[in-house]
Every structure is written in C-alpha cells, then in structure tokens.
Structure 1
C-alpha cells in the first residue's frame, strides 16, 4: 500500500517530460523529508573526512597542515560531486527492488520524467548539502582567493558534474535493480576519489598510477575547483583533462550526459527486460 501511494502521488494530468519530472521531483523531496538519514550521512561524511584528513594527516604530508586543508576542501567538494554515482544508483535500485518503478511505468507519464525527477532532486539536495562543508572549510582556514565570477563558475561546475554523475548512477541502479547489491557497489565507489587528485597531489605518484589518476574525471573536477577558487594553478605537465581542468570537466560532464541520459531513459522504459 505504501508503494502504491508513493507512486500514485505523482500527478499525471500532463504528459510533458518537464511537468512530469517536476512531479517526480516533489515525490523525491517528500521521500527525503520522511527519511532524512541517508541524506544526513552522505552530507556529513565529507565534513568528517575534512576534519580527519586535515588534522590527522595534514601535518604528515609534504604540505603544512594549514595549506593542506586549503588544498583538501576543493578536493572534497569534487568528491561530493562525484558521489552522485552512489546516491543515484542506490535510489534507482531501491525503487526497482520495491516495485515503485513498475508502478510508474503503468502511469500515463513521460518515460524521461522518473530519472529526470530523481536526478533533479539529487542536484537540489546537493546544492543545499554543500553549504555545511563550505562553512566548515572556511572555519579551518580555506579561503576563496579568486573573484566572485570565478567562484560562481566553480560552484556551477560542481553542480553540473554532480548532475552528470547522478545520471550514471541512475542507469546503474536501473541495471542492478537490487537494493542490497546497489548499496554494496555504492560503497565500492569510495575508491574513485582515492585514485584522483582530490586528496593528494598526483605529481609524485608512480607512472601508471599517476596516469590513471590524472585521467580520472574527479581529478579534472578537483583541479578546476582549485583553479576557479584561486587555491592552486593546474599542473602544466599533467594529462590534458587535468592540465586544462575547466575544459576537461565540461568535456567529461558532456560525455557522461550524452551517454547515460538516453541509456537511463531507455532502461527505465524497458523495465526488467
């Protein structure tokens, strides 16, 4: 009965993707309000990592502790943007596992609406959820050294990257269709920021590992955030996406959206076939 009420709460008077997507967006926001535990956990984890890495490991790295925290905050913002994979995958798999997606497919609504509403809700909650991390970052010594327009561009790029990764996660969740499996695989995505420049510079990594880290989209996002916030200049001898991080992040985001938006919509339309 709960699943049926959840699904039928979406109004289907109109059948345009935007109108239906807004209805699904409202459903996801109500869902978060009713069960905020997962949201709180995902939003407080970066703050915990900032305090742990910044104060426990900061003095042990080549950078002084204060400088390392200024280096770390943009990297954590980039990692938060990349976490759209985990949250998108878990939410989609949970709805599939509980039969909500099957109910949505019986309604006269756009097939784009369900993944669009989910990713839009994730984008909105991420934008709000980044505020505590930014405030804690300012409290521990991080500063935005660039101009206001560059800083706004940095935040916009973070949200664009989050939107792109959430579509990837949405497709994975629709593919897996199992809540428990999605949770386990989502935990494994924690390694992705570790293989990037989110937490440490890649300059001193051994050859193959450095190549992997520099071509990791999270490295481009982290470098772009540092560049736009005026915290560090990109490394000129890095791989192209990291040496040109703003262009690299835009390219990665566009590629993810072009590939996984149609894949997620098609997968939702097909259901368990």
Structure 2
C-alpha cells in the first residue's frame, strides 16, 4: 500500500508538468517554403552537375552561333554578338525553368512528398520552395551569359540599371513559366516524360522566335507565330533595355504574359499538388 501511494505521488507531478508543456507552433507558410527551398539549394551544392545546363550550355550556344553564323547572318561576328546575346540570355534562362518539373516528378517518385505530407507544415510549401530555389539557377545562367558575352566583346549601350532591369525581367518570366513545367511534373508519370514534353513545348517557343534572326526574313506564316510568341516579346524588351532604348510595349506585353501564366497555372499546379500529396 505504501509503495503504491508513493508511486502515485511521484507520478502526479510528472504528468502535470507534461500537461503544462505547450506544443511548438507550426512554422508559417513563408518559413516552411524557405526551409524547403534551402533543401533544394543544398541538393545543388552536393550535386553540382545540376548546374551544367546553366553553365556550359550558354557558353556553347554563344560561341557556336556567333562564330558559325555571325558572319553569314550579320556580316560581322561582333555585330551579331550584339544582336544575339540578349536572345541567348532569354533562351538559356527560360530553358532552365523546365528543370522544376523534372525535379518535382523525381521527388514524388521517390516518396519524399509522402514524408512532407506527414509534417505539420503548409501543404504547398514544398512546391513553392522548389520554385524559389530554382531562381538561383536562373541567376547563375544570366551571370554566365553576360560574363561570356562581355569576354567576347559584348557591350550594352544601356546603363547598369537598364541591364539589371533586363535580367530581372527575364527572371520574372522564367519563374512564371516554371509553373507550367511544375504542373507537368505533377501530372505526368515519369521524369523522362516530363522532359520530353517540356522540350517539345520549348523548341517552338525559343527557336521559332526572334532570338537568332530578324523575323523580317521569315515567311509570312512563320512570322505570324513569331509576332505573337511571348518569348519574342521578352527578347525585344531585353534588347531594348540593354541598348538603352526601352520599348514600353514589349515590356508591358512581357509582364502581362507573366501575370497570365501565374494566374492560370499556379492554381492548376497547387490543385494537382494537393491531389498528388
């Protein structure tokens, strides 16, 4: 009897103390998104091969197109460099955005998102974190493009503010476009399928545009597409900013395109993510 009474006397304070301990508050949506975004950054640091497409690809494209086609297209490699570098900057950063869908699909296939579902966090934070982390890839691609171009003799006529504004416009567009590829990564069954469909959509956007040549030399049916291609508007806006002659119409259409992409595909992507996870 005495032993039982003493045991109860000892147990009561412990249970009462445990009852008074408050559970920690779950992280906010911003904190969870930034934390999972940092996870994606750590993956890049541990697997630097993920940056090959934004480091080696722009170098190859700039050198190849300038020295192989510069003389034939513009009569001078230096003159063609001034024309084509803003376009290659846009192409490189925009093409880097398709990695978002591949990465998401791979994580889902490995069951990582099942673990995130068990955590007391804002459900779409893993999705938003991945999109934010990929912005680092876009910055790397932009820096490499400008660095290689400057080393080869590219000289923007615009101010530093104009060049920074041009780069920011490209980054915003790439972030908006990445919602499409994130959606594909969530609804398709394999990373290979995501890559194949994304590249199929990317080629007419980038190559059938004004990135490499003046559209005035194209046949009418192709020029009709180029004139409405959102990438063409973006390239025109970037060229104008870097030349020190901003074109308000092209900048406006680019920003409208960004807003439209987010307005349409962000809800679709979040809905697909909630169903998947």
The alignment's TM-score, normalised by the length of structure 2, stands at: 0.85
Of 270, 273, 276, 1:265 maps to 270
Q: Residues 108-127 of structure 1 correspond to what in structure 2 (within 5 A)? A: 108-127=120-139
Question: How much does 1:147 deviate?
Answer: 2.1
Please say if residues 85 and 165 of structure 1, whose CA atoms lie closer than 8 Å, have aligned partners that are also in contact.
Answer: yes
Is 1:148 the counterpart of 2:153? The answer is no
Other structure's SS at 2:155 match: coil
2:211 equivalent to 1:198: yes
Give the C-alpha shift of residue 148 in structure 1. Answer: 2.6
What residue in structure 1 maps to residue 103 of structure 2? 91
Matched positions, count? 253
CA contact (8 A) 1:46 1:133 kept: yes
Unaligned runs of 5+ in 1: 1-11, 235-242
> How far is the alpha carbon of 1:13 from its aligned partner?
6.0
Q: Spell out, residue by residue over 1:86-142, the C-alpha distance to the aligned partner (whole angstroms, 9 max, x if none).
A: 211211111122222233223221122112111110112321332121111011221
Q: How does 1:1-273 map to 2 (within 5 A)?
A: 14-188=26-200, 189-230=202-243, 244-271=249-276
**Comparing 216-225 with 183-192, which one deviates more in the overlay?**
183-192
* Deviation at residue 175 of structure 1 after TM alignment: 1.3
Structure 1 distance, partners of 2:92, 2:72, is: 24
Moved more, 209-218 or 79-88: 79-88
User: 1:4: which partner in 2?
Assistant: none
Q: TM-score, normalised by structure 1?
A: 0.86
Tell me the distance in 2 between the aligned counterparts of 1:64 and 1:231.
22
2:3 is matched with which residue?
A: none
Contact 1:92 1:177 in 2 (8 A): no
Confirm or deny: 8 A CA contact 1:43 1:130 kept in the other structure. Answer: no
- In 2, the alpha carbon distance for the partners of 1:20 and 1:65 equals 48
Contact residue 119 and residue 163 of structure 1 kept, 8 A: yes
Bigger helix share = 2
- Change in 2 beyond 3 A, CA 1:162/1:102: same
The superposition leaves residues 223-250 of structure 1 with CA deviations (integer Å, 9 ceiling, x where unpaired) of 111000017776xxxxxxxx82101110
